[in-house]
Amino acid sequence: MYAASAGLRMWNRLSMTHMELEGGHEPTQVVLDLEYSLVWHWDRHQSDASSRKQFFLFFEWKSGIVAESYIMRTQSVWSFGAALCGVLLTLHKGYSLAAGNIRELRRTRARRTRSRQLKRLWQQHQRDLRLQKGAVNR
């Protein structure tokens, strides 16, 4: 496990805080804070002690917004992987939102194009009827 980390340890601290002003009439303010540092660390523990480190990772998406306050502190070989997982999860969420927006834009464009074509056809039909009516009256 040490060979995978190359002696580098990443400390992560992710916190989300809900702040309410006194009186409770004002809207709450949400502060999201991410702190990290990458340090050179030489692991001098016994091999069995260093393998007993626990790894916890918790991500929660509720309608696109993290809804509660969580603090995550990691100091292990896996913490760099946790940071990468968080980045990849964020990129995936952003991609899915962008793909949905593009799909909606295409639908809107197709609907407008159909509407314009139907409007042109209706106007053409009305012109043809007027021309036929004028030809019959003569």
Tokens for 110, please give them.
Answer: 């197709």
Q: Please give the tally of structural domains in the chain.
A: 1
Question: Which residues, including other chains, have CB under 8 Å from residue 14's CB and lie 6 or more apart?
Answer: 33, 34, 70, 71, 72, 86
pLDDT in tens, 46-64: 555 445 554 444 444 444 4
Backbone angles phi, psi at 80, to 5 degrees: -65, -40
Alpha-carbon span 48 to 60, nearest angstrom: 32
Output the pTM of the full model.
Answer: 0.33
- Domain housing 124: 2-137
Tell me the per-residue pLDDT of 58-100, one tens digit each, with 9 for 90 and over: 444 444 444 444 444 555 556 667 777 777 888 888 888 888 8
